[in-house]
Amino acid sequence: MKRVLFAALLAVASISFAVAQPRAIGGRIGYGVEFSYQHALGESNMVQLEAGVPGFSGLEAMCTYDWIDPGNVTVPWDNKGEWHWYAGVGGGLGTNFGFDAAYIGAVGRIGIEYDFWFPLQLSVDFRPMLGVAFNSSSAAFAWDAYAGAIGIGVRYLFH
């Protein structure tokens, strides 16, 4: 199971990097650490891929399609840099080694980011997950709004 999850994650990441020019690449820190990749789809949309170790006790991968400044509601700012807020939906999967369990489900995201005038981006977001957790003997509904759902991102911007 662990090898299959890792191989699938590696394949998705490889295809994403081969096909697209990145918008931002970096990390996200919450209840664990994650690799974070953003790819802009025009001016008002992006795809965000993240893979990491939640609570340092498993592996997970999340992908969301995010709308940037939905409804053209922008953060007023007339100094250097730009503020943006975003919201999106997607999916995720992972495993928890401590409980010998795996999970899969729908992911939501809402956050705010600041793009500096030099190639650096800082963000804070909330990314809960709703899905199913299962192990070798059972399956159960899972609501994953623990501390790992809140994260701080630091990324290098490619302009």
Q: What is the pLDDT of residue 18?
A: 42
| CA end-to-end distance (rounded Å), the chain | 38
CATH number for the domain formed by residue range(s) 2-157: 2.40.160
d(CA 55, CA 32): 5
Q: What is the pLDDT of residue 144?
A: 63
Per-residue model confidence as pLDDT tens digits over 6-16 = 555 554 455 44
How does the average pLDDT of the chain come out, rounded?
83
Q: What pLDDT tens digit does each residue of the chain (159 aa) get? A: 556 455 555 544 554 444 445 689 999 998 889 999 999 998 899 999 999 998 888 899 999 999 998 888 777 777 888 899 999 999 999 998 877 888 899 999 999 999 999 999 999 999 998 888 888 788 877 766 554 589 999 999 987
For residue 38, the surrounding DSSP H or E stretch is strand 32-40
State both tokens at 75: 């953060």
Q: Considering the entire predicted model, what is its pTM?
A: 0.79
Q: What is the pLDDT of residue 24?
A: 95
